Structure 1
Amino acid sequence: MQGEEPNHYPGPIPVEDVRRRLFGWEAVSSPLYIEDPRGGLALVPGRQAIVRSDNGHVMGVFSDGYERHPYGEWLIRRIADLLDSDLWIGSAGLLRGGAVAWVSVEVPENVRTPEGVEFRPHLFGATSFDGSLATTFKRAVTNIVCDNTMAAGLAERGQQVKIKHSRNSRFRLAEAREALHIVHALADGFSQAVASLCRTSVSGRQWDAFLDAHVPMPDQPGRGRTLAENKRDTLARLWNHDLRVSPWRGTAWGVVQAVNTFAHHEQNVRGAERAERNMLRAVTGGIEDLDRATLRTLSGVLDRPLTLAS
């Protein structure tokens, strides 16, 4: 299904392959015209369309104040400015016909905690030409057992830097380095968070209470009740029997893992392929919102805050 050139590499993805295979075109600013009812075309003042140079695909329409952030410059050169030489590209891709792109830079080896959680820290760089995303650099974690993306800070924010597509926005390298703490510092912080959550017990009764809060059951029969029942059944199966979750059953980490795994691999997907939906949620922040919402709900059930190290 991958054509003549596969999309998996046995080691680091060469930077030049990312440039050639993904970013080998330009996002061109084009004047915007509309059909004139008197005949011909009329220029729309103060507006521009951002168009792919290779196939003419219109990715977005903006005011003249919109500033393009070319993928090669912002997702390769800017990340190179942020990082050390012992980090490499682990994944990169285009979404929405090229209107959204990301590059993930990772450490070469996985990290395994004493609790048996194996993960790989990485830095996401993502931006868009359709207005859906400011240029974003953020730390994240890939959970190896289920190939899930998880929030790097879990309960904390401040793990990302955003630059708007405006002429007054600037990339400040020193500020970005300080805010992100770069990838190496992520392993210790995430390991401490995992340990804290694994030490937090969740009884069978508390798990049932979490399900009641996370997936409320409608009083009246119908489609909503059926969907809620199916979701609760799937979460229970993950909690009790799935090796991506059940080794940590009875802990707060198991709760986070169950909800995150459900969202990645079990939840119904409409209007997109699952892999694209998952990556869009990773680059736009949906996964961080999910993990933190899970912890807030669980904190309410346990009636105490979940304090995590970062």
Structure 2
Amino acid sequence: MSHELDVVNGKATMAYVGQTPWHGLGQSLQPGSDIETWRKESGLDYSVLHADAMYRLTDAEGNVTYQEFPGRKTLYRSDTMVPLSVVSKDYKVVQPAEVLDFFAQLSDIGGFQLETVGALKGGLKIWGLARIDDGAPIIAEDIVRPYVLLATSYDGSLATTARLTSIRVVCNNTLSRAYSSDSKSVVKVRHDAHFRPDDVRRQLGIFSGQWEKFQIEMRRLAEAKIDNDFADTFLATLLSKRAAKRPDGSYPDVRKSRGYKEVMALFHGGARGHEMVKGTAWGLVNAVTEWVDHSRGRTPETRLDAAWFGAGNDLKTSAFTNMLDVIA
């Protein structure tokens, strides 16, 4: 098992309800399980504790002493006692229990269903995903469902982040939409500030028109017909912006890359649900998202981390927003 996935006593720190999620990881729970069951079965029934950061000194005679590292503390897990990171003493920890309680409160509000929670990178990142409602068809029977994702980290690599995201049912493709002019679609709480769940829920604007706006944009893409030349140019441009330069300063031909070939193969008929969206801008965007979620990366664990929190998420979001711009 990859080091990306957190495993304790042979059990993956992840749980889900319903069908096996797109990442294929974790323990299956019964629908309606209470939050304590989620806490135990997901492996998130621990706390993140802290201790003074120390360093060891050895003098010329071999005598060992320990000194405190001023202004720093070590975070570690209460269940395994394994250290997570060394951070500033001002670093505010959001406990696993707080993440789960955030979703428990959403369930109490009504309509929200927790579907998956877990940890990655030995517990350096934890997250939860809850479905807001049953979704809506974008075209024909192509259903997309809205979700709220909450994640935090214990090494400063990710602010505590809550955002609206979506899953396309036919293929489990995930896609987030961030509006630069409207902070209600993404809320970030830095680790030098306190996490206040009620404030985050209010800022998310869960009951605002964000989901409706997202649906309108997806339908615009589903109605926009594109040809092979358009798809080639769009994808080559998208991938070229992320290609690493050669030693001579030039860029490689992305059309020869595995990613380009696999995305184009999906667009030309290999994608799940292809018949509903073939020859459309929505079909090409979903070819990108399917590749990121289901093929890109070495393992399901690294793929999940990148698709939600890293370069994969950025690539999917860019594909969506850039496509909206070019078909406008």
TM beyond 0.5: yes
Secondary structure class of the residue paired with 1:56:
coil
Change (3 A) 1:155 1:210: farther
Alignment partners' CA distance in 2, 1:251 and 1:156 = 27
Q: Which has the higher strand share?
A: 2
Q: CA deviation at 1:155?
A: 8.5
Alignment partner of 1:179 out of 197, 203, 208: 203
What is aligned with 1:93?
118
The one-letter code sitting in structure 1 at the alignment partner of 2:46 is W
User: What is the CA distance between 1:169 and its match in structure 2?
Assistant: 3.8
Residue 17 (structure 1) aligned with residue 37 (structure 2): yes
State the distance in 2 between where 1:115 and 1:105 align: 25
Q: Residue type of the partner of 1:19?
A: R
Aligned to 1:160: 186
Distance (whole Å) between structure 2 residues aligned to residue 12 and residue 172 of structure 1: 22
The amino acid of 2:222's aligned partner reads C
SS at match of 2:85: strand
Tell me how far apart the structure 2 counterparts of residues 135 and 179 of structure 1 sit (CA, whole Å).
14
Distance of aligned partners of 1:44 and 1:187 in 2 relative to their CA distance in 1, 3 Å threshold: closer
SS at match of 1:92: strand
Shift of 1:115: 3.5
Q: Please give the alpha-carbon distance, in whole angstroms, between the structure 1 residues aligned to 2:54 and 2:115.
A: 41
> Which of 143, 152, 166 is 1:141 aligned to?
166
Tell me if structure 1 keeps the 8 A contact 2:102–2:197.
no
* Aligned AA (1:235): V
TM-fit CA distance, 1:265? 1.7
Moved more, 138-147 or 77-86: 77-86
Query: Structure 2: how far apart are the matches of 1:235 and 1:284?
Result: 21
**Superposition RMSD on alpha carbons, in Å?**
3.3
Q: 2:47 aligns with which of 26, 38, 41?
A: 26
Q: Are 1:240 and 2:253 counterparts? A: no
> What is the aligned counterpart of 1:69 among 88, 94, 102?
94
Q: Alpha carbons of 1:96 and 1:10: their partners in 2 closer, same or farther (altered >3 Å)?
A: same
**Aligned residue pair count:** 294
Return the offset for 1:85. 2.4
Is 1:53 matched up with 2:78?
yes
8 Å Cα contact 2:143-2:170 kept in structure 1: yes
Give the conservation status (yes or no) of the 8 Å contact 2:269–2:278: no
Q: How far, CA to CA, are the matches of 2:254 and 2:187 in structure 1? A: 41
Contact persistence 2:254–2:260 (CA under 8 A): no
Distance 1:46 1:277, change over 3 A: same
TM-score, structure 2 normalization: 0.77
CA distance in 2, matches of 1:122, 1:299: 22
- Structure 2 distance, partners of 1:147, 1:95, is 20
C-alpha change, 1:79 and 1:226, in structure 2 (3 Å) is: closer
TM-score norm. by structure 1 comes to 0.81
Q: Work out whether 1:124 is the aligned partner of 2:149.
A: yes
Q: In structure 1, what is the Cα distance between the partners aligned to 2:319 and 2:177?
A: 14
Any idea what SS the aligned residue of 1:8 has?
strand
Identity of aligned residues (%): 21
Cα distance in 1 for residues equivalent to 2:106 and 2:294: 32
Partner Cα distance (1:82, 1:10) in 2:
19
The answer as to whether partners of 1:154 and 1:291 remain within 8 angstroms in 2 is no
Q: Which runs of 5+ in 1 are unaligned?
A: 306-310
With 207-216 and 14-23 compared, the bigger mean Cα shift is at 207-216
Q: Which residue of 2 aligns with 1:7?
A: 27
Deviation at 1:262, TM superposition (A): 1.2
Q: Distance in 2 between matches of 1:258 and 1:157?
A: 27
